[in-house]
Amino acid sequence: MEDRKYMLQALDLAEKGLGRTSPNPMVGAVLVKDGRVVGRGYHQRAGEPHAEVNAIDDAGEHARGATLYVTLEPCNHFGRTPPCTRKILDAGIRRVVVAMDDPNPGVQGGGVRYLQDQGIDVTTGVCEKSARTLNEAFITWVTTGRPFVIVKCAATLDGRIATRTGDSRWVTGPASRQFVHRLRHAVDAIMVGVKTVIKDDPSLTTRMDGQPGADPTRIILDTRLSIPLTSKLLRLKSHAPTWMVCGVNAAAERRAALENAGARVVTAPLKGRRIDLSALMRQLGEMGITSLLIEGGATVIGSAFAADIVHKVCFFYAPKILGGDDGAPICRGAGPEHMRESIAVHDLSVFRFDADVMLQGYLKPL
């Protein structure tokens, strides 16, 4: 019970790194001595000291003889920073409690074994499920080489994301939209189809009330590079780039015009007349994208499910009914013939955002 209490504090610290540590995981650490917390730390940004180092530095001499609670197995290898295991030994820590092993196949278990070999008492698996959920994107990317993919949509109770005229502002309320901006802050990239850009002219930036947010890389599926050069996406003052994903036959002059406008053009394989999303996920993973939020439109969402690339869904429903069959559905494209062929959603959770309801669930196990 005591271990769980302090590990929950370490998990809260880890979450402070949300949106800032990629491609590294979020990690928190707490040092406890004689029933009192003497040091706290979390990994604040990729390339900067790890959580254990920050907690030990925070504790100073009080670290000697203390117990370290850390949400991820301490590293035992040289990366952009030295091994945390050496720091732990030098600090004189007597016990280490770990939430989860490092999922990286090349180093998994190495940190725990090294500490045990040096005589440190190590306990693992405390609050493991919470730790894995916190770093679901990192786990997916480091084990598969592909990004963790979330599909988000906002719909009426009768399943429409827009009216027959294309009007979708706003389906859900301000509280729901603020949560979506938190999602954008948390992921590496956001993806929409070019039809959404032409219709809505979105910015796809992060706007969080009362605190700064990180803009995700903006990825636009545009097979023939038909995006208007006047689109907001090409005129933003944002540190995050805009990537245009096209097929091999996209016109060279359009490619040059978009590159001159500051966009990066990425060529991807086609499947029929559309981007092969499964192949694109491999490309994005190789390009360092660990997490991807798909926001639409209906054709892109339908294609994402058909390509079996989705790990998690966040479906928002507003207490509204359009009452017709001519609005835009959540998904476009052919579905299965039989109900038994539908996509199963697991670990479903329900959240309220004022009058709206969000259903969150998983399509693939971690």
Report the catalytic residues: 52
At residue 303, what is the residue type?
S
Q: φ and ψ at 225, to 5 degrees?
A: 55, 55
Are residues 186 and 19 in contact, defined by beta-carbon separation less than 8 angstroms? yes
